[in-house]
Structure 1
């Protein structure tokens, strides 16, 4: 599938800021399932700094904006050719050991509800892939996809107790219960062209990856009850949503920040 992606994030401040430093994880991953073309990143008034590929295999760009400034836009555009690898992250080079992803964080910390959910899954100890699929199905059944009911700061335990949430909540919950079963799991940020029902999905997306012995990292999107296929574009990964955030930064000033996001994912003719 050939996908054209445009993504703009606009930061507005009610008082001019003196300086802005950002770390951008906005370049598609390099692996067998996708190939990137014509990819550009632009920060209005920004100066591009150090760029490097980190231990997880993600490409990181540093940008600085010198003020005073009241608005900053981060614009991304480009084309990605994708193909279905059944969710398996083949050909992705990284040096972080999978066991690192057994460590929990605040958003993925377990409570009794998550422990009970993990215990309900009757997985085969000798078949990690089957267990991972069942864990993903359990999360999909326990948390109904409803937008606007949770916040960026909502934890997996809170979303499970609510019984509703968005892709971030599904990913955090799946990561939490996979780690309970001693299966390394991590958060993945990216884009999705359409849902499993074919509805357009012009927004950033997130899912989980679980490490399976003999296969490596395999993606599971509990929000859509599937593994990532050619409709997905992978950007980067981390222990949780904050760790894998496409944009991280620090603004120097006293003004309040407002953020607006526009994403368009378009399929191009073959």
Structure 2
């Protein structure tokens, strides 16, 4: 499938900031399931640093905007050819060992309820891949997709206790459930061509490490493994660590954020 993506992120500062420094993780991952036809990341008025790929295989660049800064607009546009690999991250080059993803963060720390849910979900399963599907289905059933009821600070444990959340909460909860069973797991950001499925400004899911297969993606929000409708961007321990844009503003004041994302199927 050929997908065209436009992703505009606008930051407005009041009063203007003395300067803004951003770390950008906005380029599609390199693996057999997707090939970039064209891609651009533009930050008007910014001085761009040299790009590099981190140990997880994600491309990262810095952008510096000198003040006074009232507005920063990060514009992403491109086309990606995708192939359904049933969620398997085949051909992705990275240096970080799976065991590094056995650590939890404040977002993904499993509490007693998450641990109990995980044990119950895998009780009748055999094999690592089947356990991954069982965990993803259990999280999707336990946390109803309900926009507006959680925020970016909600933890996996809080989302499970509330019984509702969005894709960030589903991904955090799946990671926490997997970690409670000593299964390496990580947070993934990207885009989804929904076609009636669940998608937000951008999308998130989790990857679990399956021996003999490697990293396999699971999307509890939609009850599927990522397929040709998904574009993978980057990964991390949680939503904060994997954020496509992270930044620091020099100065005091308020910040307003607006995000517009459009993902459509392109003509071949």
**TM, length-normalised to structure 2:** 0.97
CA contact (8 A) 1:202 1:265 kept: no
The residue that corresponds to 1:255 in the other structure is 253
Name the residue aligned to 1:54.
Answer: 54
Q: Structure 1 residues 78, 45: CA separation in 2 closer, same or farther (over 3 Å shift)?
A: same
Partner of 2:157: 157
Distance 1:240 1:222, change over 3 A: same
Give structure 1 stretches of 5+ with no counterpart.
none
State whether structure 2 residue 9 is matched by structure 1 residue 9. yes
The secondary structure found in structure 2 opposite 1:208 is strand
Q: Specify the alignment match of 1:218 in structure 2.
A: 216
Equivalent residues of 1:7, 1:263 under 8 A apart: yes
1:115 aligns with 2:111: no
Q: 3-state SS of the aligned residue for 2:133?
A: helix
Name the counterpart of 2:203.
205
Cα offsets for 1:103-150 (capped at 9, x unmatched): 000000111211211121134675100001000011011000010000
Which segments of 5 or more consecutive residues in structure 2 lack a partner in the other structure?
none
Structure 1 counterpart of 2:28: 28
Cα deviation for residue 50 of structure 1 reads 2.2
State the Cα distance separating 1:202 from its structure 2 match. Answer: 6.3
| Distance in structure 1 (CA, Å) of the matches to 2:200 and 2:239 | 19
Report the Cα offset of residue 203 of structure 1. 2.5
Q: Deviations over 1:44-71 (max 9, x none)?
A: 2111112100000000011100010111
Deviation at 1:172, TM superposition (A): 0.2
**May I ask how many residue pairs the two structures share in their alignment?**
268
Partner of 1:75: 75
Say if 2:122 and 2:135, in contact at 8 Å, map to a contact too. Answer: no
The separation in 1 between residues aligned to 2:123 and 2:170, in whole angstroms, is 19
Q: Is the 8 A contact 1:193 1:202 kept in 2?
A: no
Separation in 2, partners of 1:152, 1:34:
28
2:247 matches 1:245: no
2:198 touches 2:222 (CA, 8 Å); kept in 1? Answer: no
The equivalent of 1:227 in structure 2 is 225
Structure 1 distance, partners of 2:244, 2:153, is 16
Counterpart in 1 of 2:176?
A: 176
Output one character per residue of 1:188-240: Cα deviation in whole Å (capped at 9) or x when no partner.
Answer: 00000015xx3584620000000000000000000100000000000000000
Q: What do the CA deviations read for 1:18-63 (whole angstroms, capped 9, x no partner)?
A: 1111110000000000001220001121111121000000000111
In structure 2, C-alpha distance between the alignment counterparts of 1:180 and 1:174, rounded to whole Å: 10
SS of corresponding position for 2:187: strand
The whole-number CA distance in structure 2 between the counterparts of 1:136 and 1:150 is 19
Instruction: Report the TM-score, using the length of structure 1 for normalisation.
Output: 0.97
- SS of 1:154's equivalent? coil
